[in-house]
Structure 1
Amino acid sequence: MYKALLKAEFLKIKRKWIWGLAFLGPFGVIALEALNFGLRYDYLTDLYKDDLWKGLIGEANMLSVFALMLGATLVASLISSLEHQSTSWKHLLSLPLSKTKIFMGKFSLAFILLTTSCILLAIGIVILGISLGFGTDISIALLFKTCFYPFLAALPVVALQLWLSVVLNNQALPLAIGIVGSIFGGALPRWTIWSWPSLSNQWDKPIINVFLGIVVGLILLGFSTVHFTKKDVNS
């Protein structure tokens, strides 16, 4: 039944531009980096001459974290708006499905869309680096950490944004919180969930942020699921 529910969620976005958003984020990052290296090729290749791939991945990381945070905000809002705009929550909740499965279906859809974006980002970085003449001696471990560690550290943000977007008909507040968090996340105190995707901490160990992201993300997901199951939906 859960598989059928997830399939239904994908059918809802079949003719929507949500999939386009999943592609737009990584495409935008790669396009900007292509422009960056195109305009400053000599300077950047001299700056990163000891490890060109590491330099490219590091430059892309600066943009990708912002794109990820903003993407999580927009994806959560858009997939929730599918029900809000059509006022179909009551119909959906009248089906012989538990509220837990319905909410988890929404989260699973957001998770898959954002994972797709991370995969496309990794592929795009490889294609760009090869196109720039950096060869094929790329650190797969570094590429994985750059593309997926911030996403795992951002799971609390994904859970929070989805919860707010689902329980609130007006999407202004969820969008405002997500956009502000995306812009100022790196400047916020390190204990805030919006700062974790930057992978910066006092121990200089990015894996700590990843661990916190997974644990706190699951806690927030559990809390938001319980709240959703007890909430009366009026739309």
Structure 2
Amino acid sequence: MWTLIQIDFKKMNKYVFLLPLISGVVVLLLASLSIGKNPIDESPWESYLLQMSTVCSIFFPISMALICSYIANSEHRYNTWKQIFTFPLRKSKIYFAKLMECIIAELIFFISVMIGFIFIGFIFIGTDVNVMNLILKAFVSLVIAYIPIIAFQLWLSLIIKNQAFPLSIGIFSAIFSYTFYVFPFEVGRFLFWTFPTSVLPIQLVIDEAQNMSIIQTENSSIYVGLSLVIGALIILMGMLHFTKRDIV
């Protein structure tokens, strides 16, 4: 499988993996605008973290949709699937190689954002080692929460030759992810597009007097577990669909 990943990296444009870094810079710049206008002065780090998560929920899925599409389109465009399938490897390993490339891109994004997030926070907010555990927990939770979204996006990109459709789905779901909360009977909470918001260990609360405060959440671990379970199911379904369907 690692051989396939190395082959893909050699034949793909290396600049495509600059996209997570560029997206991370945009997320940090937009999130950092909230530092000077922090409405919750007693919780500057927490407020900064929530702002980063909000900006990330739009830009990261869009960048991953582009990367998944590019990884799949490198085979669709030149009709090299049959050539790849002649390798003495199972189709499942080919699928997991593509998935690992997406996970590597995700890690590039979040590691760069976390380093920049801490660096900017130390400069403009101040040193507070007590928030390091909160930051680390939040970033690890976000990495896990985005796995179902990445797996779903890769599934669409691998199966559908015309990449306009997977890209449209990825962009639409990123822009309108927050609107999924309005689904009735708490259905929105179980749509995996909302997991990145639900897994955060903190949340913003606004009371009747429009006063804002940040509280610790008690059910974030539930959504981390749901992300793992649903992510594994989507990966399994995508792998089975990929291995049983002839892609030309």
TM-score, scaled to structure 1: 0.88
1:53–1:138 Cα contact (<8 Å) kept? no
Give the secondary-structure state (helix, strand or coil) at the position aligned to 1:49. Answer: coil
In 2, Cα distance between equivalents of 1:209 and 1:149? 9
Q: 1:184 matched to which residue of 2?
A: 176
Q: 1:49 matched to which residue of 2?
A: 41
Tell me, yes or no, if structure 1 residue 228 matches structure 2 residue 227: no
2:199–2:224 Cα contact (<8 Å) kept? no
Give the secondary-structure state (helix, strand or coil) at the position aligned to 1:50. Answer: coil
Q: Deviations over 1:52-82 (max 9, x none)?
A: 2222222212111222222221221111111
Give the secondary-structure state (helix, strand or coil) at the position aligned to 1:190. Answer: helix
Give the secondary-structure state (helix, strand or coil) at the position aligned to 2:228. Answer: helix
Per-residue deviation, 1:217: 0.8
1:121–1:147 Cα contact (<8 Å) kept? no
Would you say how many aligned residue pairs link Structure 1 and Structure 2?
A: 225
1:26–1:118 Cα contact (<8 Å) kept? yes
Q: Deviations over 1:169-206 (max 9, x none)?
A: 101111111111111112212221211121169x8512
2:28–2:116 Cα contact (<8 Å) kept? yes
Letter in 1 for 2:112: L
1:190–1:200 Cα contact (<8 Å) kept? no
Per-residue deviation, 1:85: 1.6
Q: 2:77 matched to which residue of 1?
A: 85
Structure 1: gaps spanning 5 or more residues: none
Give the secondary-structure state (helix, strand or coil) at the position aligned to 2:77. Answer: helix
Per-residue deviation, 1:136: 4.3
Q: 2:162 matched to which residue of 1?
A: 170
Q: 2:133 matched to which residue of 1?
A: 141
Q: 1:128 matched to which residue of 2?
A: 120
In 2, Cα distance between equivalents of 1:176 and 1:3? 30
Give the secondary-structure state (helix, strand or coil) at the position aligned to 1:17. Answer: helix
Q: 2:55 matched to which residue of 1?
A: 63
In 2, Cα distance between equivalents of 1:73 and 1:145? 25
Q: 1:3 matched to which residue of 2?
A: 2
Per-residue deviation, 1:138: 5.1
TM-score, scaled to structure 2: 0.84
Please say which of residues 53-62 and 205-214 is displaced more in the overlay.
53-62
In 2, Cα distance between equivalents of 1:138 and 1:22? 28
2:45–2:125 Cα contact (<8 Å) kept? no
Q: How much identity, in percent, do the aligned residues show?
A: 27
Per-residue deviation, 1:134: 1.5
CA distance 1:166–1:205, change in 2 (3 Å): same
In 2, Cα distance between equivalents of 1:136 and 1:8? 44
Structure 2: gaps spanning 5 or more residues: 181-187, 201-216
Give the secondary-structure state (helix, strand or coil) at the position aligned to 2:56. Answer: helix
Please say which of residues 161-170 and 206-215 is displaced more in the overlay.
206-215
Q: 2:19 matched to which residue of 1?
A: 21
2:23–2:59 Cα contact (<8 Å) kept? yes
CA distance 1:193–1:133, change in 2 (3 Å): closer
Per-residue deviation, 1:219: 1.1
Q: Deviations over 1:113-156 (max 9, x none)?
A: 10111111100101111221522435122212332312312222
CA distance 1:71–1:151, change in 2 (3 Å): farther
In 2, Cα distance between equivalents of 1:129 and 1:63? 16
Give the secondary-structure state (helix, strand or coil) at the position aligned to 2:192. Answer: coil
CA distance 1:200–1:131, change in 2 (3 Å): closer
In 2, Cα distance between equivalents of 1:226 and 1:33? 39
- Equivalent of residue 208 in structure 1, options 216, 219, 222: 222
2:177–2:193 Cα contact (<8 Å) kept? yes
- Equivalent of residue 152 in structure 2, options 129, 135, 160: 160
